[in-house]
Structure 1
Amino acid sequence: MKHELHLPAKPERHRRFGSVEAIKGTKPTDKENMSDLQNMPNDYFFNIDHVGVSNVSHPIQIESSAIPHTQTTIGSFSFTTNLDKSRKGINMSRLTEQLQRYHEKNWTVDLNTLKDFTKELADNMEQQSASVSVSFPWYFQRRSPETELPGLMHADIHMKVSYKENTGWAQTVGMTSHVTTLCPCSKEISEYSAHNQRGIISITAHIHDKAEMPDDFKTELLAAAETNASAKLHPVLKRPDEKRVTEQAYENPRFVEDIIRLTAADLYEMDWISAFDIECRNEESIHMHDAVARLSFSKS
């Protein structure tokens, strides 16, 4: 037997759960007559280096020298400007308004467009400096080493561009990627076999002011990380591929210390990089803890 409910109309249901009628206000509703607290001039004691918004998730287009050459991914943005002590605050809505304008123009996110974006941001906010940072997953095709079956991998990319009216732009790019590592100590002391782990390599590279950038910095940073590990990761492996990757790792044992030093050597040879920071973290397979190594180097 169906149980019948005798429900009141929806407005009455809402009132029963706490909703009240809107209060008839006296304050203006048109923007021109509203108070603008952020732009009230006064002495607010301190200049602010960075103020803005972060963790802005937005679809973006990127280009890649690896397949797929053009792709849509999700960017996590941060937008900030400086703020003079004579002004109480910034108009934060302008930050995401500008992002929407660029999105409507179908912009491709790269260092050149980020430079344009950052200068325009400073101008629109009537400030002397601005910074934009974005991080996103970058996908690339990889074939298995023996059967050459394709699949998609990804690495996490981050880019930051800062603009100052008097000095111009400063740029950094970076990547976090995963590799296979095989313990040299385990190989040395064991009668057979050696334990493996997954390594996570993070690189941040500072770019020379007038550098001639490579066609795709992403593939260069990826090569610096992967070619100095014990072996690469692969999305698709059949038995002949697994045999090859296992043997390759055994042929190239690496401590975390080895990986960051070898990666640093590759970054040192890249003319467009002025300084770099590297971290390698191994998720140990025979310990509860991770092994970690960090290195910073400036060519100047």
Structure 2
Amino acid sequence: MKLPDKSGNLSLPPKAERHKLFGSVSPGPKVKPVEKDAMADLQNTKKNFLFDIDAVGIENVKHPIQIESILEPTKQTTIGTFTFTSSIDKDSKGTNMSRFTEQLHEYYSSHSFTLTIEGLKKFTKDLAIRLKQRDATMEVTFPWFFERKGPSSDLAGLNHADATIKVTYHENDRYDIEVALSGTITTLCPCSKEISEYSAHNQRGIVSMRVKLTDQFDQAKTDWKQALLEAAESNASARIHPVLKRPDEKMVTELAYENPRFVEDIVRLVACDLYELDYVQWFEVKCRNEESIHLHDAIASITYDKAREK
């Protein structure tokens, strides 16, 4: 590099020379094919590769999506984090990874990729056909925003919960559909309330629910996001609010005091609500309290399968 001139400005070498300075070299001789049809396709090699593979694909794929909600805002654009997989038999070496993102972009371009159960069922079936496999799975997690008003002031703000949809297509038009939601609540400690002369400690709780939907689930009639959120919030000591004026805060703290809950109480009460939903076949509910007077968290969970009753 040259020394600065009298004006104090550097006289830089051309960009190509700068690249050479930092290790770039000229391209070497190229003898392999450049046309796709002439290139080796190792992934499509057929041989005995010893084991079937349950799932192979890609994950942590971020992409804009559109979702619909019964709560305001009823239409919203957010970011989905996708996982795409399929199984492969032991006579196949691998899968074609580019086909997953290729189909995602095609659907986004032609459908704006609004997440509906029926739309994702078609997506996974088309994906299995594209991959030439008997099954395909798509799982997407996204932040879902919903309006929440203060109980006294009626002032609104947006809360959010993490939502997930997982759809698996099996040959002969069979599907497994799971949805999940992780929402935040307030819990007040029953033990603290019982033993103290006054006051009681409370904390923020995270309720995570995963459910398997029956074939009869109708998204046109039910917003599963709102149903799961209500199962969590209606059984809490109090709901979380983005905007609270003093009259709101008084109502929320008094409500929490009137409805003390252990994590054990939360998962049992939420389980009751999920059990009563006729379109839920199987569910798992977990609660984790971020304790305000301990360094540890408190946890509890329940898994229940309605099929075992038959």
Q: TM-score, normalised by structure 2?
A: 0.95
SS in 2 for 1:220: helix
Task: State the distance in 2 between where 1:210 and 1:153 align.
Answer: 30
Q: Equivalent residue for 1:116? A: 122
Answering whether residue 44 of structure 2 is matched by residue 43 of structure 1, we say: no
Task: State the distance in 2 between where 1:255 and 1:109 align.
Answer: 35
Q: Equivalent residue for 2:283? A: 276
Question: Structure 1 residues 123, 242: closer, same or farther in 2, change over 3 A?
Answer: same
Task: State the distance in 2 between where 1:62 and 1:4 align.
Answer: 54
Task: State the distance in 2 between where 1:175 and 1:239 align.
Answer: 30
- 1:6 Cα deviation after fit: 2.9
- Give 2:168's aligned amino acid: S
Q: What are the equivalent positions in structure 2 for 1:178-197 lying under 5 Å apart?
A: 178-197=184-203
- 1:110 Cα deviation after fit: 1.6
Deviations 1:199-219 (CA, angstroms, capped at 9, x unpaired): 000000111133345420100
RMSD: 1.1
Task: State the distance in 1 between where 2:140 and 2:218 align.
Answer: 22
Q: What are the equivalent positions in structure 2 for 1:122-133 lying under 5 Å apart?
A: 122-133=128-139
- Where structure 1 has 5 or more consecutive residues not aligned to the other structure, the ranges are none
Task: State the distance in 2 between where 1:241 and 1:187 align.
Answer: 22
SS in 2 for 1:104: helix
Q: Equivalent residue for 2:36? A: 31
Deviations 1:75-133 (CA, angstroms, capped at 9, x unpaired): 00000111121111111101000000000011311211111001111111000011110
Deviations 1:161-185 (CA, angstroms, capped at 9, x unpaired): 1111146100100100000000000
- 1:44 Cα deviation after fit: 1.1
Answering whether residue 250 of structure 2 is matched by residue 243 of structure 1, we say: yes
Q: What are the equivalent positions in structure 2 for 1:65-144 lying under 5 Å apart?
A: 65-105=70-110, 106-144=112-150
- 1:24 Cα deviation after fit: 2.4
Task: State the distance in 1 between where 2:122 and 2:263 align.
Answer: 39
- 1:155 Cα deviation after fit: 0.4
- Give 1:261's aligned amino acid: R
- Give 2:288's aligned amino acid: R
Count matched residues: 300
Task: State the distance in 2 between where 1:112 and 1:167 align.
Answer: 12
Task: State the distance in 1 between where 2:300 and 2:173 align.
Answer: 34
- Give 1:168's aligned amino acid: R
SS in 2 for 1:91: coil
Answering whether residue 16 of structure 2 is matched by residue 11 of structure 1, we say: yes
- Give 1:62's aligned amino acid: I
SS in 1 for 2:265: helix
Q: Equivalent residue for 2:159? A: 153
- Give 2:241's aligned amino acid: H
Larger deviation: 159-168 or 253-262? Answer: 159-168
Task: State the distance in 2 between where 1:286 and 1:2 align.
Answer: 64
Q: TM-score, normalised by structure 1?
A: 0.98
- Give 1:262's aligned amino acid: L
Deviations 1:130-154 (CA, angstroms, capped at 9, x unpaired): 1110000000011100000010000
